[in-house]
Structure 1
Amino acid sequence: MLKLGYKQSQGDHTLFVKNSSSGGVTALLVYVDDIIVTGDDLEGMESLKKSLVKEFEVKELRKLKYFLGIEVLHSREGIIISQQKYIVDLLTETGKLGCKPANTPIEMNHRLGDALEDAVVDKSSYQRLVGKLIYLSHTRPDIAYAVGVVSQFMHNPKESHLRAVYQILQYLKGTPGKGILFKKGENLTLEAYTDADYAGSMVDRRSTSGYCTFLGGNLVTWRSKK
């Protein structure tokens, strides 16, 4: 990719981008043997595909529909990404497919701490489950805070922490199809919002901050971090 004149992203080393002399952009994202080629430079995209075919055996799947558990739906309004199948598979795996849905991913004003008096739960199972929820946060900013909370106890999970994880699953049961819409438009205004609580952690009294940024009215980045 570097020989073809592409620059490797410093934020994500699996992303390569090239700007054409006409102002267009071609981008390639790769994970093992799954590749996305996109951009607004049609000639650049075709040239890249021909270069890839010379080096590798490539099967083109046309318009993107599914990538690493993320579903992509093209509509008149724009592009919608979600992980509905991933959620259904996760609920099935954990035996929560028939559970009662919850209205929120975490209790309001929760007081989750180390819970030293609680019974210990299986550490490896807890870590695998929370890890899958972390990946799900790529298309579900509404669970980012709750997942950030339960991930703080992966070193020594207790029953109360596992109950909080189960509430996230119950919330997902009632909202499996939610995702993010990237709307079409010419507006590229950048907006950012941030907030924080004050000494909210029961463990070390540290604060939790959160932010989200919109480009042209489309949500592009978000985070919740203690």
Structure 2
Amino acid sequence: MKDLGYRQSQGDHTLFFKHSASGGVTALLVYVDDIIVTGNDEKEKDDLKRRLIQEFEIKELGRLKYFLGIEVAYSRQDIFVSQWKYVTDLLIETGKADCKPAATPMDSNQKLSEGREEPPVDKGMYQRPVGRLIYLTHTRPDIAYSVSVISQFMHDPREPHLQAAHRILHYLKGSPEKGILFKRNSVLTLEAYTDADYAGSIVDRRSTIGYCTFLGDDLRVKWEEPMKFYCDNKSAINIAHNPIQHDRTKHIEIDRHFIKEKLEE
């Protein structure tokens, strides 16, 4: 691929892409003996297929419909990517096919700790579904945070961790068909969303931050306008307007954990 002028992605080494002088882009993704080719430069795609045929014995299967558990559906206005069958198989495998659906993947007030005083659970029984859930986050960003939390306890899972994992499965039971919708539109805006749970970990008082960015629907766009930035800073505003609330902040606990960590190092 590099000999053909393609660059290898540093974020995913199985992804190769090439930008043509006309502004088009062609991308190739490979997994063992399966390949996806996409892009808006038809000539380059045809050239790439011809070169691949010269190097390997390949068979073109047409428009992408199913790849590594990911289902792709098309219409004139959009492309929908989901893992419906993957979710269904996961629920059957974990014995949750007939479970009661949950409205959310995690209780927003729940704080999981190492829970050494709680009864341990079988490590394999915990790691297998959590691993499957990690892969599911490719098309289900709505469970990304919850899965990131329970995956922190893979080395020593306890009963509360398993219950939290089951809560995600119950949530999936009520929404197995959800996925990501890529709409065809001409509106190009750059937006970023971020939120942070300041010093939210009850184990070491570390913070958890999450963010996502959206730039239209192209792979390479030059953008020079101001970007919209959304964040949740109500607490900071309230504290700034009411100094009495300063004694309720977590700075003292954070300082204590920080100093203790440095002393141990």
What TM-score do the two structures reach when normalised by structure 2? 0.80
DSSP-derived class of the 1:73 partner: strand
User: What is the one-letter code of the residue matched to 2:28?
Assistant: L
* Contact 2:195/2:209 (8 A) holds in 1: yes
Moved more, 174-183 or 16-25: 16-25
Q: Residue in 2 aligned with 1:96?
A: 96
Query: What does residue 113 of structure 1 align with?
Result: 113
Supply the distance in 2 between the matched residues of 1:30 and 1:188 (Cα, whole angstroms): 29
**Number of aligned pairs?**
218
Q: Which has the higher contact order (CA 8 A, sep 6+)?
A: 1
Q: Distance in 1 between matches of 2:7 and 2:151?
A: 34
How big is the shift at 1:77? 2.4
Aligned counterpart, 1:142:
142
Q: What SS does the corresponding residue of 2:36 show, helix, strand or coil?
A: strand
Give the structure 2 partner of residue 164 of structure 1: 164
Corresponding position of 1:221 = none
What's the counterpart of residue 4 of structure 1?
4
* Residue aligned with 1:211, SS: strand
Bigger radius of gyration, 1 or 2?
2
Identity among equivalent pairs (%): 67
Matches within 5 A, 1:1-226: 1-216=1-216
Deviation of residue 187 (structure 1)? 2.8
Q: Where do 4+ consecutive residues of structure 1 move more than 6 Å?
A: none
Query: Residues 116-135 of structure 1: CA distance to partner in whole angstroms, max 9, x if unpaired?
Result: 12111111221121111011
Segment of structure 1 superposing worse, 182-191 or 140-149:
182-191
Structure 1 segments unaligned to the other structure (5+ residues) = 219-226
Q: Which moved more, 1:192-201 or 1:164-173?
A: 192-201
Aligned-pair Cα RMSD in Å? 1.3
Greater share of helix residues, 1 or 2?
A: 2
Shift in Å, 1:217 = 7.0
- Note the alpha carbon deviations across 1:127-168, whole angstroms, 9 max, x for none: 121111011011111101110110111111001100000000
Superposed displacement of residue 186, structure 1 = 2.5
TM-score under structure 1 length normalisation: 0.93
Secondary structure of the 1:192 match is: strand
Distance in 2, matches of 1:155 and 1:169, equals 20
Paired amino acid for 2:157: P
The answer on whether the counterparts of 2:184 and 2:217 sit within 8 Å (CA) in structure 1 is no
Answer 1 or 2: which has greater strand percent: 1
